[in-house]
Amino acid sequence: MRSSRVALGALAALSLSAATLPAFADTHIEVQGGRSYMDSHGTNAFFVESVFDAHPMGASRITWSPDVSIGYIKGRDIGRYRDSHPGVTNNVWVGALGARLHYGSEGDWYQPLFFSFQVAGTAGGRTQALSSGYQFVSTLGWQWKNLSFQVRHISNGSFKEPNRGETMALIGVGFDI
C-alpha cells in the first residue's frame, strides 16, 4: 500500500509541475480515449496530454516538443489470470513525461505524423501488463489541428516480469491555449 501512496504522490507532483509549464510555452492540450489491449483482451483507456511549443533539432527538419500526459487504464476480468499475482483487475493511473517528434515544415503532408517517447510512473496497482511502478511509453500518431489518431504502447521494457504491456488505439480531441 505504501508504494501506491508514493506513486500517487509522484503523479500529483508531475501533474502540478505540468500545470505550471503553460506559462512558459504555447500549449496544445488533448483529451484522448480508446481501447487498450493486453494480449487480445481489451479495456477502456483515457488520457489527457499536453504538448508544448516545438523546438528545432539543430539544422535538421526535425522538431521536438515537451510532452506530458496523465492516463487511466481500466482493469479487466480474465478468468485465466484470476489467481495470478499480479492479476489484471486493478485500474492503473499513468503519469508520463517525454518528447514528441515531428519531421518536415509546416504545410508538408507528412508533418502531422509524429512519434513520441515518454518515461512513466504508475499508481493504483500492478497488473500482468503493467507490473512495475515505472514504464516506457511510445506513441505513433497523426495530429491535425484539433484531432489526433494514435497507437500507443506502454511497457516496462522487460525490466520486471510479467511484462505483457498495454497497446492501445486512441482518438484525441485537442485545443491550443
Residue 42's pLDDT band, with cuts at 50, 70 and 90, is very high
pLDDT in tens, 5-17: 555 555 555 555 5
| 134/136 Cα distance (integer angstroms) | 7
User: Which of the listed CATH numbers 3.30.9.10, 3.40.50.970, 2.40.160.20, 3.30.470.20 matches domain 2-176?
Assistant: 2.40.160.20
Rounded Cα distance, 136 and 39, in Å: 18
With residues binned 3-state (H G I as helix, E B as strand, rest as coil), the percentages for the chain, rounded to 5, are 15, 50, 35
Q: pLDDT digits over 151-166, tens only? A: 999 999 998 889 899 9
Does residue 162 have a cis bond before it (omega within 30 degrees)? yes
pLDDT of residue 176: 93
Burial of 83 (0-12, 13-18, 19+ CB in 10 A): exposed
**Cα separation of 162 and 171, whole Å?**
28
Contact assessment for residue 25 and residue 52, using Cβ atoms and an 8 Å cutoff? yes
- Please report the pLDDT score of residue 133 as a whole number: 92
12 or 96, greater pLDDT = 96
Q: What would the grid cell of residue 100 be? A: 514528441
pTM of the model: 0.84
Q: What pLDDT score does 22 carry?
A: 46
Distance CA 16, CA 124 (A): 19
The three three-digit cell numbers of residue 111, written as one number: 508533418
* pLDDT (average), residues 28-46: 96
Give the angle 31-77-153 at the CA atoms, nearest 5°.
Answer: 40
State the Cα torsion 71-158-163-91 to the nearest 10°. Answer: -30
State the amino acid at position 83 in one-letter form: D
